[in-house]
């Protein structure tokens, strides 16, 4: 799931990223509303039932075998090929929808302690940090890296070291550049490395250090002079992303879209965010492909570049004609649903959200509505902006965008709950008259 903030330039890319002073947002959970019961669906064969073990294997393939799947990378391309093959094997009509975007790339960043000893530190350039090669004395900036804090030390011509927290990364960097520092190292307040995004253009390289490496530098500074070398090769590059679309034609031209993004951040394997949602999407495609022809045309979409600002889903929606938009009855979004805790969150204030929560209730699954913080969203938003009724399947999860978002966090029973609810929702929608457009919202609603 992405988090985003507008930038001075490339504003479309400054979405959905953690800020230095912010914790992972807490999702607001609402009580389950009372819904009108509907009839039980016709039983289906075991082959056409959601299989959590199959879904988990998809998640394992994406997060373990392929690993990080940041947009524009080889891992991302391998994931796209895997998804396309799975869609084809399930009998779906597969297309690849290309779109272009500007992408920040780190072609290699290293930070080395040169004196009083030689050692490579655990470091990672903050996203959108400029390139730079600097070798200089290190100076510790006290406090939080405010202007007043930088005024207490002589950082001109040096590499500044400051602790993460309170102030945004870009503010710390601007304060460092203002006093003439050549680069800024920000060490974590936890032992591990971290990822971060600079929300404004900065003039000097800004590199994140693990808390462990920061502690080593603090110890060295307490004993005397410290000299550090950093080499960071970063660039903005034009890349092509690909939405992988699998279509299961129905008896009607009315469409139900099921989506989830397959890209991850570069920091880790993205098991929860969002191999889990992609895995659920793939298993649902198998399930629905094994069943009789549906009334609605089902469109399964693995979106690319969600982490860069919902770019894949925006590209898809922007390319729909007015007739195609009018024919889209609902959109189900699967993102970050296989790990974490709490109830299954089925977010949506429209009729399809209510239908999803009623379906969960009928299945004996604890599910709630909820709301995301203002700086967080996912691919359903691209559809909701065009008046399409959506429901967002997720769980509250605090390891997104970290190296710890690994396959051992994924719980098959969570995949099972999301998959069974989604299958029930599709059954309910398919059972409604094709002329019934009551589940679709107008742009003004």
C-alpha distance from residue 436 to each of 13, 254, 327, 380 (Å): 38, 10, 11, 22
d(CA 168, CA 188): 13
Query: What's residue 401's pLDDT?
Result: 87
Question: Where in the chain are the domains?
Answer: 2-103+238-431, 117-225
Per-residue pLDDT tens listing for the chain (445 residues): 765 433 333 333 333 333 333 333 445 544 433 333 333 444 545 568 999 999 999 999 999 999 999 999 999 999 999 999 999 999 999 999 999 998 888 999 999 999 999 999 999 999 899 999 999 999 999 999 999 999 999 999 999 999 999 999 999 999 999 999 999 999 999 999 988 888 888 999 999 999 999 999 999 999 999 999 999 999 999 999 999 999 999 999 999 999 999 999 988 899 999 999 999 999 999 999 999 999 999 999 999 999 988 999 999 999 999 999 999 999 999 999 999 999 999 999 999 999 999 999 999 999 999 888 766 799 999 999 999 999 999 999 999 988 899 999 999 999 999 999 999 999 999 987 544 444 443 322 2
Architecture of the CATH domain 117-225: 3-Layer(bba) Sandwich (3.50)
Question: Is the preceding peptide bond at 169 cis, omega within 30 degrees of 0?
Answer: no
- pLDDT of res. 375: 66
Give the list of residues 6+ apart from residue 91 with CB closer than 8 angstroms, or none: 248, 289
Token digits of residue 226: 């410290």
Helix (H) or strand (E) holding 222, with range, is helix 211-223
Phi-psi sector, 359: left (phi>0), alpha (psi -120 to 50), beta: alpha
CATH number of 2-103+238-431: 3.40.630.10
Instruction: Give the pTM.
Output: 0.75
Q: Confirm whether 2-103+238-431 and 117-225 share one CATH topology.
A: no
């Amino acid at each position: 799931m992405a988090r985003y903030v507008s930038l001075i330039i490339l504003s479309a890319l400054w979405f959905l990223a953690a800020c230095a002073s912010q914790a992972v947002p807490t999702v607001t959970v609402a009580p389950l509303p009372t819904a009108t019961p509907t009839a039980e669906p016709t039983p289906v064969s075991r082959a056409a039932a959601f299989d959590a073990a199959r879904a988990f294997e998809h998640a394992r393939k994406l997060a373990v075998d392929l690993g990080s799947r940041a947009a524009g990378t080889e891992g991302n391309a391998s994931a796209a090929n895997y998804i396309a093959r799975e869609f084809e094997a399930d009998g779906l009509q597969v297309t690849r929808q290309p779109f272009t975007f500007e992408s920040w790339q780190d072609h290699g960043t290293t930070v080395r302690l040169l004196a009083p000893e030689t050692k490579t530190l655990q470091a990672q350039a903050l996203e959108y940090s400029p390139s730079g090669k600097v070798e200089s004395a290190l100076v510790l900036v006290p406090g939080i890296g405010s202007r007043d804090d930088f005024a207490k030390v002589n950082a001109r011509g040096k590499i500044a070291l400051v602790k993460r927290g309170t102030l945004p990364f870009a503010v710390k960097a601007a304060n460092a550049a203002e006093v003439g520092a050549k680069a800024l190292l920000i060490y974590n307040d936890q032992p591990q490395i971290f990822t971060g995004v600079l929300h404004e253009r900065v003039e000097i390289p800004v590199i994140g250090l693990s808390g462990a490496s920061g502690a080593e530098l603090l110890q060295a500074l307490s004993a005397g002079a410290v000299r550090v070398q950093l080499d960071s090769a970063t660039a903005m590059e034009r890349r092509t992303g690909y939405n992988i679309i699998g279509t299961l034609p129905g008896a009607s031209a009315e469409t139900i879209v099921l989506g989830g993004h397959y890209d991850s951040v570069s920091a880790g394997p993205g098991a929860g965010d969002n191999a889990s949602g992609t895995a659920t999407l793939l298993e649902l495609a198998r399930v629905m492909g094994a069943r009789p022809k549906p009334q609605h045309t089902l469109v399964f979409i693995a979106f690319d570049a969600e982490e860069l600002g919902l770019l894949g889903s925006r590209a898809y929606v922007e390319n729909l004609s007015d007739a195609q938009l009018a024919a889209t009855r609902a959109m189900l979004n699967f993102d970050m649903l296989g790990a974490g805790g709490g109830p299954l969150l089925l977010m949506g204030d429209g009729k399809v959200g209510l239908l999803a929560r009623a379906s969960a209730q009928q299945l004996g699954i604890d599910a709630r509505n909820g709301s995301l913080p203002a700086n967080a969203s996912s691919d359903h938003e691209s559809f909701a902006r065009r008046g399409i009724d959506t429901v967002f399947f997720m769980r509250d999860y605090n390891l997104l965008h970290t190296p710890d978002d690994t396959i051992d966090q994924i719980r098959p029973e969570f995949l099972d709950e999301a998959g069974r609810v989604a299958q029930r929702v599709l059954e309910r929608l398919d059972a409604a008259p094709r002329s019934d457009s009551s589940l679709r919202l107008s742009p003004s609603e």
